[in-house]
Structure 1
Amino acid sequence: MVPLADLFNHKTDGEHVHFTKSDDSDSDEEEDGDDQNSGEEGDVDQSNIDLVEEKDDDDQSNASADEPSTVENSTAKPSGEGYNDEDLEMIIVRDANPGDEVYNTYGTMGNAALLHRYGFTELDNPYDIVNIDLTLVTKWCSSKYSHRYAKARVSLWHKLGYSGCTSEDAEYFEISYDGEPQLELLILLYIIFLEPEVYDKLVCVAEDLVGDDDQHDEQDTIDSFAKVVEVTRPAKNGVEKLPDVKKLLQSESIGSALSSIADNRESLYGSSTLKDDEEKLRTCSPVGERNIYHSLVLRVSERKILGRLRKHACSWPKTKKRKHT
């Protein structure tokens, strides 16, 4: 199937065709077989009923012996000229005008994956992401506090059952195309900004807060963080209502931290600006300067995402600091 599907170029969210293995010949012939054998199965059922009514043990034994072969014949896979288990079906999912190129899709993936697997990139790919290494976050925290402070806060974050994405012994966080930071990164920043006495309190109960089940989705992570909030922001006399935990992760301090981390991440691109890279990309040939072109596509996309991250973080409302008791 792959060689035929690869005859068509990929276009993210703009494909005209899908390819799939065709099971029509199997299902049609099986239905024909069922129709041909339906009378036999009916005879067997009626024979069993008659035998039960007559309570003839010998005939019942014979009917039971015959029944499996009858059922087996009715479900046997047909063979013949019309059957081919490698049939391929091309399904049209979008209209194409005469003369237009017809596109396939290789899946919903960002430019980094497309370049790694297929050797090309797309401008403005909505599935692009930016990775921010945990070491970059730790470095920012160390510069604001100390290396020992950063190590202790990250250790508690891990102890509570949180982690980022992992690849080849590296841990990182994903920033979506829209600039939305990974939830685990926000929780880490929340723990970093805890007051010392609250941090110490959380350390004492950390093992009790870790559940037996892994965190499979965002809701699991939010539910887990709610337990942390109950410790770090205890209700007074049981009257205070537990706040929206996601709003706690959108504080002014966390937003400021995200902006600083985004600046540190973008500094890895050197002294050139986003505008410089966009101009280079505009004049770069995707054929004659293939490597440079794809590199610029990745850089421009990632820098735009970092810009959205800053804008996203700056949009969070300013909150008053609360004294922890």
Structure 2
Amino acid sequence: MSDVSELLTWFQASGGSLDSSVGFTEFPGCGRGAVALEDIPKGHVLFKIPREILLSTDTSTLPRRIGLDRWREAKMHIGWVGIILCMMWETAQGPSSIWSKYLESLPATFDTPMFWSDLELEQLAGTSVVGKLGKADAERDFKGKLLPMVQSRPDLFPLETIPIYYTLGIYHVMGSRILSRSFDVEKDDPEEEPEEDGAPADTSLGSAMDVDGPQDETESPHEGDSEPDDDSEGDEEEPFGVSMVPLADMLNARYGSENAKLFYETDDLRMVSTKSIKAGEQIWNTYGDLPNSELLRRYGHVDMLPLPTGDLGNPGDVVEISADFAVAVLRPDETVTKARIDWWLEQGGDDVVVLESDLEVPEALVSLIRLLRLTSDEWEKAVAKDKVPKPKIDNEILDVVRAIFERRLKEYPTTLADDVALLANETLPLNKRHALIVRIGEKRILERAMQKIESQRVDARKGDSSRKRKTQPEEEAGRMSKTRRH
């Protein structure tokens, strides 16, 4: 990464404006971030970013040089492959690219699991992280889309530059930059056709963070982090697009700490304080209060904050539970399973349910369990009514839920006690420490959820016993009354 002063010089020379209350510095454990140089009131504009310097498939001239018809024919507009190629090509242009200083400022190495060794990835066994890395999909797009495009245009991609700027390794780096630093930005005019000599900024797919509408709007923001979906072959343009946003991407994020947010205007984007910020405090943007599993996968860090239980961790941690676990516990007939799972998905059910830190049994899981337990007659009636079973909980359902949680917990190769003891070792490598923190957070949720289920069962048994104790004297009194009448 280049010196921040060079980036700021370029930013301001390109039409950007930075308020005197904002500075950039290194924060222990967070890396480079923004700091308040003086007290900042709520609603204060921290900096403005001209739309022309956002880096996207519309602001880069590469798609037009290739030809927009050819670009779309090669499906470069689907997923992130197009913007990755634009970033590679702009990097290859060196100082002649208007983004050269910006691209030099971006990180070239990452602590995300995408770059971990196989041995390190074993530390994430049991979590959902490894299954979401998408490394194979990325390599498929590189070989099937990007490389053929590069090789077909030696006038734009000279042969000698390919092993320098267009390698699989660089493809992964650019993808990680997008995943960790891009924003979803509303198009300036979704109906406007691109012009040959330029186009409105930010009109491709995908993002990592979100942007609100103009400051005076009250509607909900468009949520970010809609990662590439290469299974979608539709050509319909989206009103939002992924863009690399200089300066805005330098703000760090932490659970529940957001005090600034990016808003879009017609000509620029503005980072605005959403709370008052004291001099010396870090200026935080948001990633959406994600669990540690997602923070690690996307950004290469985890949050360790005080929890209500007295432990340290991420209040947003969750555990993902596949529908396969319900099937494995209930063991219904294979034909029955397929028909019912297919119908469940058609009804809008998910194949993965989420157990959150509030430990409430997911209603979707209860409905799925009840669906798999239906008799043939009940199943036919449910299909006729076109409704999945209601998420009604009783002790039998709680038994199944507990068995599912136990089975899910066995996916981790170590116990919670093992992990807690290991985390006390201060000499652990960073990646192993991060993996431990993710595992511990998920295991705590599962174990506490099972404890809560047991408590619910105890309460239910007490209720049954109490009702029986009340019923017995009442029945005895009834018999005595009948005896007296005789």
Query: Post-superposition shift, 1:184?
Result: 2.2
Alpha-carbon shift at residue 208 of structure 1 (Å): 1.4
- Paired position in structure 1 for 2:247: 4
Check the 8 A contact 2:318/2:355 in 1, yes or no.
yes
CA shift, 1:119, in A, is 1.7
- Give the equivalent residue in structure 2 for 1:93: 274
Q: 8 Å contact 1:162–1:184 — kept in the other structure?
A: no
CA shift for structure 1 position 190: 2.1
> Is 1:275 matched with 2:275?
no
Conserved 8 A contact 1:18-1:104: yes
- d(CA) in 2 for partners of 1:301, 1:128: 6
Which of 440, 443, 450 is the matching residue for 1:310? Answer: 450
User: What root-mean-square deviation, in Å, do the aligned CA atoms of Structure 1 and Structure 2 show?
Assistant: 2.8
Q: Distance in 1 between matches of 2:341 and 2:363?
A: 13
Letter in 1 for 2:264: K
Using the alignment, how far apart are the partners of 1:98 and 1:274 within structure 2? 41
More helix per residue = 1
* Equivalent residues of 1:129, 1:175 under 8 A apart: yes
Question: Match of 1:168?
Answer: none
Question: How much has 1:281 moved relative to structure 2?
Answer: 2.5
**1:200 matched to 2:381:** no
Q: For 1:154 and 1:183, locate their aligned partners in 2 and report how far apart those are by CA, in whole Å.
A: 21
Q: Which amino acid aligns with 1:318?
A: A
Instruction: Summarize the alignment of residues 203-214 of structure 1 with structure 2, pairs less than 5 Å apart.
Output: 203-210=379-386
CA distance in 1, matches of 2:419, 2:320: 19
Counting only pairs closer than 5 Å after superposition, residues 26-41 of structure 1 correspond to structure 2 as none
Structure 1 pair 284–269 and aligned structure 2 pair: CA distance change class (3 A): farther
Q: Render the CA deviation track for 1:224-257: whole Å, top value 9, x for unaligned.
A: 34xx5xxxxxxxxxxxxxxxx55xx221111111
**Which residue of the other structure, out of 253, 257, 268, is the alignment partner of 1:14?**
257
Q: Secondary structure at the match of 1:291?
A: helix
**Mapping of 1:235-314 within 5 angstroms?**
246=391, 249-270=392-413, 272-284=414-426, 289-314=429-454
Secondary structure of residue in 1 paired with 2:289: coil
Aligned to 2:302: 121
Residues in 2 aligned to 1:275 and 1:97: alpha-carbon distance in whole angstroms? 40
CA distance in 1: counterparts of 2:364 and 2:421, whole angstroms:
35
Tell me how far 1:162 sits from its aligned partner: 4.5
Extract unaligned runs of 5+ from structure 1.
24-84, 166-170, 211-223, 229-244, 321-325
Residue 21 to residue 255, structure 1, CA distance change in 2 (3 Å): same
Report what 2:340 is aligned to.
156
| C-alpha separation in 2, matches of 1:153 and 1:315 | 31
8 A Cα contact 2:423 2:436, kept in partner: yes
Q: CA deviation at 1:193?
A: 4.2
- 1:71: which partner in 2? none
Q: Which amino acid aligns with 1:265?
A: R
SS of equivalent residue, structure 2 residue 353: strand
Q: How far did residue 266 of structure 1 move? A: 0.9
Q: Distance in 2 between matches of 1:129 and 1:201?
A: 36
Map Cα deviations across residues 271-307 of structure 1 (whole Å, 9 max, x no partner): x32132123234346xx72211221121011111112
What residue ranges of structure 2 are gaps of 5+ in the alignment?
Answer: 1-48, 50-244, 305-312, 465-486
User: Are the equivalent residues in 2 in contact too, given 1:178–1:308 (CA < 8 A)?
Assistant: no
Question: What does residue 322 of structure 2 align with?
Answer: 133
8 Å contact kept, 1:174–1:181: no
Determine if contact 2:327/2:337 at 8 Å carries over to the other structure: no
CA positional deviation for 1:157 = 5.5
Distance 2:402 2:363 in 1: 16
State the structure with more CA Rg: 1
Q: Distance in 2 between matches of 1:305 and 1:154?
A: 30
CA deviation vs aligned residue, 1:92-132 (integer Å, no higher than 9, x gap): 22334433333222223222222222221212323322111
Per-residue CA deviations over 1:191-217 (Å, capped at 9, x if unaligned) read 3445xxxx122133343111xxxxxxx
How many Å apart are 1:137 and its aligned residue? 1.9
Asked whether the equivalents of residues 258 and 309 of structure 1 are also in contact (C-alpha less than 8 Å), the reply is: no
Paired letter, 1:251: D
Judge conservation of contact 1:110–1:129 (CA < 8 Å) in 2: yes
**Cα offset for 1:268?**
1.4
Write the letter of the residue equivalent to 1:132. I
* 1:201 partner letter: D
Structure 2 CA distance, aligned partners of 1:258 and 1:268? Answer: 16
- In structure 2, what residue type is equivalent to 1:155? A
TM-score w.r.t. the length of structure 1 is: 0.56
Counting only pairs closer than 5 Å after superposition, residues 57-68 of structure 1 correspond to structure 2 as: none
| Matches of 2:421 and 2:246, distance apart in 1 | 37
Stretch moving more, 172-181 or 294-303 = 172-181
Confirm or deny that 1:106 pairs with 2:287. Answer: yes
For the 8 Å contact 2:340–2:372, the answer to whether it is kept is no
Q: Which amino acid aligns with 2:381?
A: V
Given that 2:254 and 2:289 are in contact with CA atoms closer than 8 Å, whether structure 1 keeps it comes out as: no
Q: TM-score, normalised by structure 2?
A: 0.39
The equivalent of 1:26 in structure 2 is none
